[in-house]
Amino acid sequence: MSESKLVRLFYYFFALCIILGALLIYKAWWDRYFRLRPELATAEPAVLSIDIPMEVALLWDESVMVSPSAGQISFPMGRGPLYCAKGETVAVIAGPSGKNQVKTPGPGYFVAALDGQEGKWSYGELWPGSSKIPSVPGPVFIEEGIDIPKGGPVGKFVPQPRQLRCIAYIDSASAVDNSPP
């Protein structure tokens, strides 16, 4: 190899080393600059989960299903609660005039029970201001095989789908005690 080619090769090699060194020094300065000067506001996703005990009352429209005739009642699908499609038979009334079926008016939940609060639940009664939600009586199931008069209650039906609505009572003292630091 001639001397001029060797000098030219060293020249390009050292020029490339100087350029790479300058780029590395600039990148090191750039990284240090942004480490020392973070952005003033950055959005970071976070989740804060606090368990707060509460009392809840669900609000829904429920309708009492009634017997079309007098007779002995039976529940072919059980007393529920159960999900029914439109037109499903939930009760059969066997009387002197024959068997009559009680069918659901649409999709929803059926339960062969009453709690005595049918038609009495309203927002004003459930939200007494600052006091707790009133207690709810338990359901009284309608027994299979008993005699039901014409127009007598067979059970309750809650149509679906619907948006769930509820009223919640949170004790302010317990909510304050469980607050994060």
Rounded to whole angstroms, the Cα distance separating 115 from 57 reads 14
Global model pTM greater than 0.75: no
pLDDT in tens, 85-112: 999 999 999 988 889 999 999 999 999 9
Which residue ranges make up each domain of the chain?
1-46, 58-175
pLDDT in tens, 4-20: 888 899 999 999 999 99
Alpha-carbon separation of residue 81 from 84, 118, 120, 121, 126 (angstroms): 10, 16, 21, 20, 23
The DSSP bridge pattern shows strands 98-103 and 71-74 to be unpaired
Regions in the chain scoring below 70 on pLDDT: 1, 40-42, 121-132, 134, 163-164, 171-181
Q: CATH class for domain 58-175?
A: mainly beta
CB-based burial label for 150 (10 Å; 0-12, 13-18, 19+):
middle
Rounded to whole angstroms, the Cα distance separating 100 from 149 reads 13
